[in-house]
A and B are shown apart, each in its own frame.
Chain A
Amino acid sequence: MTALLPRRVRRLASLAEALLTPHGMDRYLELVDPMLVRREIRGLVTAVRRQTADSVTFTVRPSRAWPGFTAGQYVRVQVEIDGVRRTRCYSPCGSQYDGELEFTAKDLGLVSGHLNRELGVGAVLGLSIPDGTFTLPTPRPDRVLLISGGSGVTPVLAMARTLVAEGHPGEIVFLHYSNGPADALYRTELAQLSARHPGLRIVHAYTHAKTGGDLHGFCSEDHLAKAAPWYRDAEAFVCGPQPLMDSVRALLGEHVHTEEFTAPALTFDTEHAEGQVRFARSGRECANSGKSLLEQAEEAGLSPEHGCRMGICFSCTQLKTAGRVRNAKTGEISGEENEEIQLCISVPVGDVEIHA
C-alpha cells in the first residue's frame, strides 16, 4: 500500500497542475504558506543569533525540494531588498546530516549587511541546489587538516561537523585564523565539538593579537608544524582570504584543497570590439571596449554590485534590455530580450543596453 501511495500522490499532483495551468501549483500554494512550494527551494529562518559584532548566524529549514548538500559546498541564497531579489553564495556550516542549514554572514556589503540588520525568525529566503567541488574525498583520509580564516570558517566547519557526525576514527586538526578573540567565529561551538570528539583538535591563531591565542601572526611553516606535526602527509582543506590560501598552497603544494572558485578561462577580444554600451538606468553610455560589461560599467563611472568577478556568485546579475552578449566563459552568444546576464562574464557583441 505504501508503495502505491507516492504514485497516487504524483497523479494527484499532476491533476492539480493541469487544473492550475498556466501558473502551476506553487503559485497558489505559496499564497497559503510560502514554504509549501513543491518545485522551488526555499528556507524558513528558524533562529538568528549574533556571535560577533559584525556577523549574523542563522538557521533555515529548507522546503521539500531541498536535495541535501555535501559538506564544503555552497548555496545561492536569495533575499528581497527593497523589492529586488539579490543573490549571494553562502556555505552551510552545519553537518551535512543535519536537517536544518546553518549560515554565517559577515557584514561586508549590501546583502550581508541587510541580513545582519534585518533578518528575523520567520523570514523566508530563496535557496538554490548546492554547488561546488570543495568537498571531502570518500573514503575519508585518516589525517585531515582543516584551515580557515575569518568567515571562511563556514565550509570548513561543515566538514569538521560532518566528520564528527560520522565518528571519524583518525586525527583532525582545525586551525582557524581570526584577527583577535573578539571576532573569532564559532569559538564556543568548536570547543564543544572537540570535547565531544577527542580526535579533533582546535587551534586558534590570532593574526592581530599578541596574546590569548594558541598561535599568533600569519600562517607559517612554524604554525603548521605546531598545529599538526604530520601536516606534510595530511590532506588539507583551506578556505579564507587569498593570502592565507596562497601561503598554505606554497607550504603544502598539491595536498591542498581550496574553496577558491576555480577561475575559468575567460576570453576577451578587445581588438575587434564594436558598438555602443548604454546603461539605461544611469543614462551613461560608452563605446564597447571588448572587456566584460562589469569592467566597462566601472570604467564608465558606475559601481554595480558584484562579487566573484568570474561568473560564479551571480551578484552582478543585471537585466540586458537590448542587444547581444557573448558569455566569456562558454563563448555562447545570446540575444534574448530582457534577459538576466552576469556582467562580469558578459561581453557586448555590438550595441547593448543594460538596465543599470
Chain B
Amino acid sequence: MTGLQDRLTPAQVEEFGRELDALRQRVVDDLGQADVDYIHTVIKTQRGLEVAGRALMFAGFFPPAWLAGVTALSLAKILDNMEIGHNVMHGQYDWTRDPALSSQRFEWDIVAPAENWRHSHNYMHHTYTNILDKDRDVGYGILRMDPAQKWHPYYLGNPVYAFLLAFMFEYGVMLHDLEFDRILKGERKWSDNTEILRKMAKKVSRQVGKDYVLFPLLTGPMAPLTFAGNLTANVVRNVWAFSIIFCGHFPGDVESFTEEETAEETRGQWYLRQILGSANITGGPLFHIMSGNLSHQIEHHLFPDIPARRYPEIAPEVRAICEKYGLPYNTGPLHKQLWSVAKKIVKLALPQTSAPRVTVEPDRSLRAA
C-alpha cells in the first residue's frame, strides 16, 4: 500500500508543485475582458432561461409549454448554482471588483444560504479534501463512502440515503452546515447553530415563497401546475448537481487520506492530494458548462479560484504533468463514473468491505531519480 507521502521524493514533490504554480501564474496573468464577457454571457443566458421558464408556466395547461417551462427553469437553476454560483463564490471573479461577481456578496438560487456554504465548502472541503473526519463532504455525514469509515448497521441504508439525498440535494447541502454528525459525537454544540439556523430559515422562506407560493399564485388557475413545474425544476437540478458532485470525489479509485499523513503538508503535497482525491468527467463543451466545469474537478481542486472556463484549457497540461510524475489522472464518461460511485455506495452498505485501498504504483524509475 502506497501512502500519500511515498509517491514522490520530497524534491520531486517540490518540483511538481513549482510546475503547477507556474501554470497557475500563467493563467492569472492572462485574466481579463474575455473572462468577464464569458461569465456575463452565462449570466444573461441563465436569466433569460429563468424568465422564459417562469413565463411558460402561464401556459402550463398546454403540456408542451409546461414541459418547455420546466426545462428552461431547470437549466436556469443548474447554471445559476453551478457555472455561476459555485464558481463566483469561490472568488473566481473577485479580481474584477464587480460587486455582482463578488464571492462575499453573491447569493444563489438554492435553499442553502451562500454564507454557510462558503465556509463548509471553500474552507473545510477544499482545504481538507478527502481527509476522513475533516472533509465533511465525504458522504455528507450521512453516507459511508470510504471503507475506512467504520461500518455500523445504519449504513445498510446507504443506497436509500443516497437516493433520498440525490432528490433533496439542496436541503442536504443546506443541512450539511449544521454538522449533525459532529453534534452527535459531542464535538459541536447545538447552540453553535443558532446563527446558521436563522440564516437558513430566512433563505428557505424566500426560496419556498417564490417557487411554491408566489409564482403559483400569479398563474391563477394554473397554480397546481406551476407548483408541480417548479418542484420538478428543483428536483432536476438536485439530481444533476448530486450526480456531478458525487462523480468528483467518489468514483472507484479516488483516494482518501488520514489526518496523520496530511499533517504539515507543503504546497506540492497539497497539490498531490488534490489530484489523487479528485476525478474528472469527459464530455463536450456544453456538458462542461452545465456541470459548472466541475467535470474538471481535478483542475478545480488544484486552482479553485481560477475562472472555471480556463479548466478545459489547462487540462491537457495538468494531465501531462501527472504523466510525467507517474500520477493517476482519474477521468471517464459520466455513465462510467456514476456507475462506479453507485457500486461503491452499495458495496459500502455492507460491513465486509475493508479491503486495502486501491492505489496506483508510482513509476519506480522516477522514484529512484
Pairing of A with B: yes
A residues whose Cβ falls under 8 Å from a Cβ of B: 15, 18-23, 27-28, 31, 80, 82-87, 281, 283, 317, 319, 321, 336-340, 355
In the complex, the chain A residue whose C-beta lies closest to that of B84 is A23
A22 adjacent to B206 (CB under 8 Å): yes
Given A31, A83, A339, which contacts B47 in the complex, CB threshold below 8 Å?
Answer: A31
Q: List residues of B (92-114) whose CB comes within 8 Å of A's CBs.
A: 94-98, 100, 102-104, 107-109
Contacts of A337 in B (CB 8 A): 104, 122-123
Of B47, B97, B102, B203, chain A has the most CB atoms within 10 Å of the CB of B97
Contacts of A23 in B (CB 8 A): 47, 107, 109
- A340 and B51 CA atoms in complex are apart in Å by 32
Identify 19 residue pairs between A and B in the complex whose beta-carbon atoms are under 8 Å apart, listed by A's number. A18-B209, A18-B214, A19-B210, A19-B215, A22-B107, A23-B109, A27-B43, A31-B44, A80-B36, A80-B96, A83-B34, A84-B32, A85-B97, A281-B29, A283-B25, A319-B97, A337-B104, A338-B94, A340-B97
- A-B complex: 3 closest residue pairs judged by Cβ atoms: A83-B36, A22-B107, A85-B97
Contacts of A85 in B (CB 8 A): 96-98
Contact with A along B29-61 (1 / 0, CB 8 A): 101111111000001100110010000000000
Given A19-B214, A22-B108, A338 and B103 contact (CB-CB distance below 8 Å): yes
B211–chain A nearest beta-carbon distance, Å: 10
CB of B9 closer than 8 Å to a CB of A: no
A83 adjacent to B33 (CB under 8 Å): yes
CB of B201 closer than 8 Å to a CB of A: no
- A52 and B94 CA atoms in complex are apart in Å by 37
CB of B207 closer than 8 Å to a CB of A: yes
B51 adjacent to A21 (CB under 8 Å): no
Contacts of A20 in B (CB 8 A): 210
CB of B91 closer than 8 Å to a CB of A: yes
A319 adjacent to B94 (CB under 8 Å): yes
B210 adjacent to A84 (CB under 8 Å): no
- A30 and B318 CA atoms in complex are apart in Å by 38
B91 adjacent to A338 (CB under 8 Å): yes
B51 adjacent to A28 (CB under 8 Å): yes
Given A22-B108, A83-B96, A317-B97, A27 and B47 contact (CB-CB distance below 8 Å): yes
Sample of 15 further A-B pairs with CB below 8 A, known A83-B96, A338-B91, A338-B102: A18-B206, A18-B209, A19-B210, A19-B218, A31-B44, A80-B36, A83-B32, A83-B33, A83-B36, A86-B97, A283-B25, A321-B305, A337-B104, A337-B122, A355-B94
- A19 and B206 CA atoms in complex are apart in Å by 9
B215 adjacent to A22 (CB under 8 Å): no
- A283 and B48 CA atoms in complex are apart in Å by 40
- A281 and B47 CA atoms in complex are apart in Å by 33
